[in-house]
A and B are shown apart, each in its own frame.
Chain A
Amino acid sequence: MLLLLRTSALLFRTHLARLAWSRRTLVCALLAALGPLVAFLIAAASRKTNASEIAVHVGYLLQLQVIVPVLALVAGSAAVAEEVEDRTITFLFSRPLPRASVLLGRWSAILVFLTVLLAASTWLLLAAAGRAKGPPLDDGIREPLLAAVLAGGAVYSALFAVLGVFVRSPVIVGLGYAFAIEGFLANMPAGTQSLTIQYYLRSMIAGLGSSQWSAVEGFASTSFEPLPRALTTLSIVLVAALALGAWRITRREFVLSS
């Protein structure tokens, strides 16, 4: 266990430094700028829409439903798959290290990176929305959105990192999942929503947020999970995904072409 933590910490530090050089970082930064940009444009163009309406709509429909899963996919899927694509995994897997540390260490670095990026993006989105008319945004909008976005970043990135342990093209499979499952099922009525991460993230907003979130279509009519249950479910999904990934990476062979 100590060795797992030690090597994970080493891989965490190294991967965090690598992220600074990565082209993925640039893609992620551009994606993260999208939410604030849209909020800014709406605030600048529309005189009728007030700040809270912009924040809840852009935050919910764009930031939480699209940006978070896609950003987590771009960053998270690289955790193991990048080492395989770059064919550097040979160097790691010919060392006496617990193989799970490759997943855990690199995902931890991605989590820190995503947390910083999503927090900055959400803060800018709220700031851009706050430029519109109307009363300033209250904590009932800011805090739930930030909490749901960061939780989403953690859970989605773990899922996509683990996907990279199982399949050769995690981005393609992940995109399918993000749009077909998360994008489609999460917006279907009744119980199917509970099969998605989105549903529990929305439940967080419902549990923490103010009544202004009801402005989003369908929000008020949806029956969400209580906050503790949503948090528990998200935590279980995250831990289970990482445990499954750790188990698989320990046994899987990665066949690289010469």
Chain B
Amino acid sequence: MTVLVEARDLSRYYGPVVGLNDLTLALDEGVTGLLGPNGAGKSTFLKLVAGEIRPSRGSLRVLGYAPFANREYFRRVGFCPQQDALYGEMTGLEFVVFLLRLSGHGKSDARRLAQRAIERVRLEEAMDRRTRGYSKGMRQRIRLAQAIAHEPRFLIVDEPMTGLDPLARREMSALFAELAAEGVSILISSHILHEVEGLTRNVVLLHRGRLLAQGPVPEIRKLLSRHPRKVEIGARDARSLAAALLGLDHVLSVRLAPGGDSVQLETRDLDRFWSELPRIAATARAGIHTLDSSDANLEAVFDYLVV
């Protein structure tokens, strides 16, 4: 496999703030998930890879190029940034065509490629509407459309699932899988392990600007699974739910919240818990209305790993 991204002692500082610290890694072609809690350095790493900012120290080569302000490199990559910014006065189609034309495509070619990309992100019905009227999900899709429209070899996507509903997330995942099958390498960031897991086995874990782990998801999950995970469930009948949950062998503790309207539990197998919860909820007729696993947020997992 060809090395796609090669970072050596890569650091990036924003004044006194450390965005990324002495990162050395090599990413192969294919799909790679970049994981870490907020402030881990994911966006900094992606901005460096996308050529938006320069390293403060160390070196970075992507597809053999130094990315910053490199026009040859930009012909080969697509970048879908996290920030929710668009040209509001343009329609979705105009937006993508405009950026394609800036990439050197002729008018008709740009229109054809833009329409194709917009169809791929399933936004064709809204492509003639001004983007200022787009919903969050539509805005995310059009940003992705501009990133894939010029058919890049390497796609960089920063937190693409944020703000999307479950159906849109599934569609987005399917699109990434499709692109990967076509041979496009993808670097995708997220702070939710589960999101990335559906797309790739290869994961890079960052924490406080440093590389924490790199490798296949199952190995990393194994590491995480040793840590008991907390879940809070809000339910109409929290008491009967708590009783039902006590019957699960992987549940270590169950506690009713002071108000009596939610259950707090600890499990040593979060995956099994999620798969068994619908059955338990149906049996107990507990009327679940909220679910919160603070541990699902990688922050807690990372805190555990770092300690």
A94 to B154, CA, bound (A): 13
Given A90-B52, A93-B69, verify A10-B83 contact (CB < 8 Å): no
Contact: A90 with B72, CB < 8 Å? no
Proximity string of chain A (225-258) to chain B, C-beta cutoff 8 Å, 1 when within and 0 when not: 0000000000000000000000000110111111
Provide the bound-state CA to CA distance between A256 and B89, in Å: 21
Cα A253 to Cα B54 in complex, Å, equals 7
Interface size on A, residues (CB 8 A): 30
Q: Which chain A residues border B68 with CB–CB below 8 Å? A: 253
Within 8 A of A (CB), among B53-86: 53-54, 68-69, 71-72, 74-75, 77, 79, 81-83, 85-86
Q: Does A194 make an interface contact (CB < 8 A)?
A: no
- B85 and A258 contact, CB distance less than 8 A: no
Interface pair A7/B43, CB less than 8 Å apart = no
Interface of chain B, main secondary structure = loop
Interfacial chain A residues near B79, Cβ < 8 Å: 90, 94
Contact of B86 among A88, A96, A99 (CB under 8 A): A88
> CB distance B85 to A18 under 8 Å?
no
A92 at the interface (CB under 8 A from B): yes
A47 part of interface (Cβ distance < 8 Å) = no
CA distance A94 to B50 in the complex (A): 7
Q: With contacts A96-B72, A258-B43 known, is A87 near B83, CB below 8 A?
A: yes
- Tell whether, in the assembled complex, residue A87 and residue B85 are in contact, meaning their CB atoms are under 8 Å apart: yes
* In the assembled complex, B135 has its CB within 8 A of some CB on chain A: no
A17-B89, A253-B68, A258-B43 as given contacts; A96 in contact with B52, CB under 8 Å: no
Residue in A14, A18, A98 with the greatest tally of chain B CB atoms within 10 Å:
A14
Residues of A within 8 A of B71 (CB): 96-98
A residues less than 8 Å from B53 (CB atoms): 253, 255
B interface residues, Cβ below 8 angstroms from A: 14, 43, 50-54, 68-69, 71-72, 74-75, 77, 79, 81-83, 85-89, 98-99, 101-104, 146, 158
Q: List 17 A-B contacts (CB under 8 A).
A: A3-B104, A10-B98, A10-B101, A18-B87, A88-B87, A91-B81, A91-B99, A91-B146, A96-B74, A97-B102, A97-B103, A99-B69, A250-B69, A253-B53, A253-B68, A257-B83, A258-B83
Residues of chain A having any CB pair with chain B under 8 Å: 3, 7, 10-11, 14, 17-18, 20-21, 86-88, 90-99, 250-251, 253-258
